[in-house]
Homo-oligomer: A and B are copies of this chain.
């Protein structure tokens, strides 16, 4: 091979069973020189949006020609298609259920193929573990530089969805949502600087963010700027507004969790609200 092949794995398989180890065995049996990297195996079970969010946060840091395998696959064994999506830099191997939606949103010129070349599969193919029988061997052959054209025909249509976006309720009110809670109890919202520019930067208006049982009126720039027990807002490393706490868990302090509503009131309305 002309370079060291790198394959990443993102699944909802957890690490309590043999599933991930089996996938690695299948890959190494085909391409023993591969470097296999776990991105995350704790995607919420069956949660395609959570998987989409995870791979979209990680894939772009890897070297050119990395093969990313993404298996969150509640429809395994049904008519849902296995796909190979290729951009200029990367290959993605996944079920066609939208788990690559946030990759499609960031990468131009994706070619998406229906994987049908069964001679690359591990036989017999089960109805319950395509991570082992289809996605891993296909990734391994891609890492061995088998041409993507050989895996199947290009698709015009494939499943994609949009991540939930903040919604303007009126001129000064925005309704957003907690996309996920991270390991530290930070609440990752779906608010980006593009969505609500007036929250961020130099000309930022005054605002009030309500989440769970707390209200926040200021943006901080580091977790450590929070006082003990204080709930703060910060532009996090994922590119989203986070609700956080210094050495504490905002999820616990606010009572909010994944899916909780986040309300933003901008400008004078927020200031008025403060006085109430």
Q: How many copies altogether?
A: 3
Chain B hits for A126, CB < 8 A: 237
Interface: A150 (CB within 8 A): no
A38 lies within 8 A of chain B by Cβ: yes
Question: Are B46 and A18 within 8 A (Cβ)?
Answer: no
B224 touches A62 (CB 8 A): no
CB <8 Å contact, B29 and A15: no
> Would B127 and A28 count as touching, CB distance under 8 A?
no
* Residue ID in chain B nearest A25 by CB atoms: B61
Give which listed residue, B29, B60, B234, contacts A62 with CB less than 8 A. B29
Residue among B63, B78, B234 making CB contact with A224, cutoff 8 Å: B78
Interface residues on A, range: 35 or more
Nearest B residue to A130 via CB reads B237
Of all chain B residues, the one with the shortest Cβ separation from A74 is B247
Report B-chain residues with C-beta under 8 Å of the C-beta of A129.
236-237
Q: Does A24 belong to the interface (CB within 8 Å)?
A: yes
- Tell me if A128 counts as interface (CB < 8 A to partner B): yes
- Chain B nearest CB, measured from A240 CB (Å): 11
Say yes or no: is A145 at the interface (Cβ < 8 Å to chain B).
no
Report whether A42 and B28 are in contact in the complex, using a CB–CB cutoff of 8 Å.
no
Please pick, from B21, B77, B242, the residue contacting A222 in the complex, using a CB distance under 8 A.
Answer: B77
In the bound complex, do residue B246 and residue A74 qualify as a contact, i.e. CB atoms below 8 Å apart?
yes
* Cβ contact within 8 Å between A58 and B16: no
Q: CB of A214 within 8 A of chain B?
A: no
Instruction: Please give me the 6 A-B residue pairs with the lowest Cβ-Cβ distance, nearest first.
Output: A77-B222, A25-B61, A21-B39, A129-B237, A14-B183, A25-B62
